[in-house]
Amino acid sequence: MALLRSGSKTAEAARGSNSSSNNNNNNNKNGKSRPARMTTVIFVALLVDLLAFTLILPLLPALLDHYRRNDKGGLYPYLEGKVGFPQLT
């Protein structure tokens, strides 16, 4: 809604607010309301995100074993030494 500095509405904003309220009424009659649709989209997005992150977890031990055997002078031995030191104390 557009307001002038004096606080009164412009004629275009007044006409636009009437048409937007009609559009909102049509949306409610034709399908789900906007908050219900938004909740559905957010729920589906979070579900896909959760599944995407949990699919890799069963593969993690196999990945660690692979890098333990094949990465002789790289990052894995360095990190293993850093993590292994606090485990000994």
pLDDT digits (tens, 9 = 90+) for 71-85: 878 888 888 878 876
In a domain, 5, yes or no: no
Q: Please indicate, yes or no, if residue 6 is contained in any of the structural domains.
A: no
Residue of higher predicted confidence among 5 and 17: 5
Q: Is residue 51 domain-resident? A: yes
At 12, the pLDDT band (50, 70, 90 cuts) reads low
Residue 40 has pLDDT above 70, yes or no: yes
Q: How far apart are CA 14 and CA 80, in angstroms?
A: 67
45 in any annotated domain: yes
- Please work out, in degrees rounded to the nearest 5, the angle formed at the alpha carbon of residue 74 by the alpha carbons of 87 and 57: 65
Classify residue 62: in a domain, yes or no.
yes
Overall domain count for the chain? 1
pLDDT band, very low/low/confident/very high, at 86 (cuts 50, 70, 90): low
- Alpha carbon 31 to chain centroid, angstroms: 25
pLDDT at residue 53, as a whole number: 86
Domain range enclosing 68: 11-88
Residue 60 lies in a domain: yes
Q: Is residue 4 part of a domain?
A: no
18 inside domain: yes
